[in-house]
Amino acid sequence: MKALILSGGKGTRLRPLTYSGAKQLVPVANRPILFYCIDNIVRAGITDIGIIISPETGQEIREAVGNGKQWKAKVTYILQDEPAGLAHAVKVAKGFLKNNPFVMYLGDNLIGTDIKKFVKEFIKKKSDALILLKEVVNPKQFGVAEVSRNGSIIRLIEKPERPPSDLALVGVYMFSPQIHKAISRIKPSQRGELEITDAIQEMILMGRKVKSFVLETWWLDTGKKDDLLVANAIVLDEWGMIKIKGTVDKSSKIIGRVTLDENSVIQASTIRGPVVIGKNTVIENSVIGPHTSIGDDVRIMNSSVDHSVIMNGSEVIDVERLEESLIGRRVRIFKNSRHKTLRLMLGDDSVMEV
């Protein structure tokens, strides 16, 4: 069995951050989102992985993932020239997938469970498609499924005006080679894209076995700032640990699960976990609240930071309170007014004087 990870797209919902980087490489708990996807695939026993890349961010994805050696996997890169839909990505990858069943995983999705059990069920039942579903409060924004009592899919609709249910398609799918025939029979949607929901619907019309499971754990599409911050908080809550490799002076307090990487220094500060702090970072006379991820080579001085993601090389100086913020690489934020609480989303190389 193979895997196909979709890591193209323009990441418009995370702009300006994604003007200068791939959305799949935005960090959650100081690891790129894409890495969690690969982890989950490899834990399911799948090590032959194709990654769909775009012309804009493909090289960055290649440099981050490499040949897959760190996962003991083999990675093949497949260029999708234009964002023409998920089914189009499968069509582009047909030469890699050949006649093999495969898992398709959206590279900006995180789920709170291993996919291994779903892969086993897919193989055991000899299904042609297995999709994961999750109840959502805003089904109009997703592909939505109408499901029979035995878990079979009746129909799928992409972003419906009148959703038949509150069950959204999670960004993890399993397909037999029959998906290629289904894709060849569909036409672009009104958005001009080949929709995977249309392809799965076509499989149903072809009489193929399409099954579903409703996720009992969390699922997050990290395409927006608030969702990414929620994902960061959940990952820190579930997988955060106490690991102090850097230096903490005697006037500082470390409370709860805090990870402090090599060559980082905490001086006259309080860190309340769960928090993760990267390498070569200095935090001085500051308070770092829970659910915060701080990257490498960061400086935080005389500031309070809570529930935020601060990426590599950034500085936060003399800011009374920074919360619910996503800060890109090499960003400088410093105090120069009476504002107290900031909520920011800043792209790479920004300067913010407040």
pLDDT for position 262:
97
> SS3 for 97?
helix
- The model's pLDDT over 22-74, given as tens digits with 9 standing for 90+, comes to 788 889 999 999 999 999 999 999 999 999 999 988 999 999 999 999 999 99
DSSP string, 5-53: EEE-S--GGGTTGGGSS-GGGSEETTEEHHHHHHHHHHHTT--EEEEEE
Q: Given pLDDT bands bounded at 50, 70 and 90, which one contains residue 287?
A: very high
Taking alpha carbons only, the member of 297, 69, 84, 282 closest to residue 196 is 84
pLDDT for position 331:
87
Q: Domains of the chain, with CATH numbers?
A: 2-227 (3.90.550.10), 240-353 (2.160.10.10)
Q: Given pLDDT bands bounded at 50, 70 and 90, which one contains residue 9?
A: low
pLDDT for position 328:
86
d(CA 171, CA 173): 7
Residue 76 neighbours by CB under 8 Å, 6+ apart:
48, 49, 50, 51, 96
Is residue 87 left, alpha or beta, with left meaning phi > 0 and alpha meaning psi from -120 to 50?
alpha
Residue 67 neighbours by CB under 8 Å, 6+ apart:
74, 75
pLDDT for position 11:
47
d(CA 197, CA 98): 21
Highest mean pLDDT of the ranges 12-21, 28-37, 340-349:
28-37
Which position has the higher pLDDT, 157 or 294?
294
Q: How many helices (H) and strands (E) does the chain have?
A: 8, 33
pLDDT for position 223:
67
Taking alpha carbons only, the member of 48, 137, 59, 56 closest to residue 97 is 48
State the chain's mean pLDDT as an integer: 89
- Please check the confidence at residue 352 and state whether its pLDDT lies above 60: no
pLDDT for position 3:
98
Which DSSP letter does residue 138 get? Answer: -
pLDDT for position 353:
53
Residue 31: strand pairing partners:
28
- Please check the confidence at residue 295 and state whether its pLDDT lies above 90: yes
Is residue 85 left, alpha or beta, with left meaning phi > 0 and alpha meaning psi from -120 to 50?
left
- The model's pLDDT over 97-124, given as tens digits with 9 standing for 90+, comes to 999 999 999 998 999 999 999 999 999 9
- Please check the confidence at residue 142 and state whether its pLDDT lies above 60: yes
- The model's pLDDT over 168-193, given as tens digits with 9 standing for 90+, comes to 999 999 999 999 999 999 999 888 89
pLDDT for position 220:
82
State the first-to-last Cα distance of the chain, in angstroms, to the nearest integer: 53
Is residue 280 left, alpha or beta, with left meaning phi > 0 and alpha meaning psi from -120 to 50?
left
Return the structure tokens found at 127. Answer: 């299904």
Q: How many residues does the chain have?
A: 354
Residue 147: strand pairing partners:
153
- Please check the confidence at residue 15 and state whether its pLDDT lies above 50: no
Contact (Cβ atoms closer than 8 angstroms) between residue 28 and residue 293: yes
- The model's pLDDT over 213-263, given as tens digits with 9 standing for 90+, comes to 999 998 887 767 788 899 899 999 988 889 999 999 999 999 999 999 999
pLDDT for position 342:
63
- Please check the confidence at residue 338 and state whether its pLDDT lies above 80: no
Taking alpha carbons only, the member of 104, 116, 49 closest to residue 78 is 49
Whole-number percent of the chain with pLDDT over 70 = 90
- Please check the confidence at residue 160 and state whether its pLDDT lies above 50: yes
DSSP string, 196-257: HHHHHHHHHHTT--EEEEE-SS-EEETTSHHHHHHHHHHHHHHH---EE-SEE-TT-EEESS
